[in-house]
Amino acid sequence: MPGPSRTPTAATTPAPHPWNRYVALGDSFTEGYGDPEPQSPGGVRGWADRVAEELSLGRQDFAYANLAVRGRLLQQIVDDQVGPALELRPDLVTLSAGGNDIVFRGSDPDKLAERLDPVIGLLSATGATVVLFTGPDWGGTPVFGRIRGKVAIYNENLRTLAARHDGVVADLWTLRQLTAPHMWDPDRLHFSPLGHHTIAAMVLDTLNVDHTLKPLEPKVLPVSSWRDARSSDLVWAKDYLFPWVVRRVRQRPANLGLKAKRPEPGPIFGPGMAHGPFPAGPLPAGKP
């Protein structure tokens, strides 16, 4: 279990961390909506990309996939993203789910947590570090302030699930910087680039990872920091990953046009950057 947060001690070469394969699951929050970036897949960047960029520093074997799709409800995330995540054999998983259910569907936060419980257990049982997100405090807004109590109940349920399954809580509720208007997109539903940057720093601090993110100074997309795809990786994607994606699309024709922005785990797009799947070969020691 990661320890308490700490202040970065190096400007460009953070201390080593134990993760090589990171998969992000969720909805528009994890996809990166509100943080536009033409060089990124789907035209958005977001906190998960920013976290992956930091985790990749000095790590030629690091790879990242983002399976999040905007608008997804909790059960859709479970049905469409958890299976692919397990197939990719990550050692770090971030999962944010249930926010759309509470905000737009008026769902019961206790029942949502019951549905999420076995999913977190399944992910944790692989040996991966599982990071869960509490909802932000919308108490100061005229509309979403009315669901503040339900968000708070769901947050407490998530803390219980994290404790039960040895997970990690990335706490948006207590991240008071998010109360500032400039942390939010004009729609007040999604975060701005600065908000995504601030959340990325919080996630890295929660994981006890030294990083180069500075408060109120969002970093531009790196020109090059990730490994190039290898031919063996491309064979793996052709033989295993792409057929799975095709099967899922055929099973759910209504979902055409909405897909994960990074279903192929590998380097982030950027000037001169290629992309490809997770490194071939065995998992890191101690991981299934």
Give pLDDT < 70 ranges for the chain: 1-15, 142, 223-257, 264, 266-288
pLDDT digits (tens, 9 = 90+) for 182-217: 999 998 889 999 999 999 999 999 999 999 999 999
Instruction: Provide the strand spans (E) within 20-59.
Output: 21-25
User: How many C-beta atoms surround the C-beta of residue 13 within 10 A?
Assistant: 11
pTM for this predicted structure: 0.79
Quote the CA–CA distance of 126 and 120 in Å, as a whole number: 10
| Amino acid 17: pLDDT | 94
Domain 21-266, CATH homologous superfamily name and number: SGNH hydrolase (3.40.50.1110)
Residue 239 DSSP one-character state: I
69: left (phi over 0), alpha (psi -120 to 50) or beta: beta
* Ranges of each domain in the chain: 21-266
pLDDT of residue 238: 47
Could you give the CA distance from residue 86 to residue 158 in angstroms, rounded to a whole number? 21
Joined together, the tokens standing for residue 60 give 């030629």
- Burial group, residue 223, by CB count within 10 angstroms (0-12, 13-18, 19+): exposed
DSSP three-state, residue 94: strand
Q: Write out the two tokens for 254.
A: 């209504």
b/e per residue, 99-134, with b = 16+ CB within 10 A? bbbbbeeebebeebbeebeebbebbbebebbbbbbb
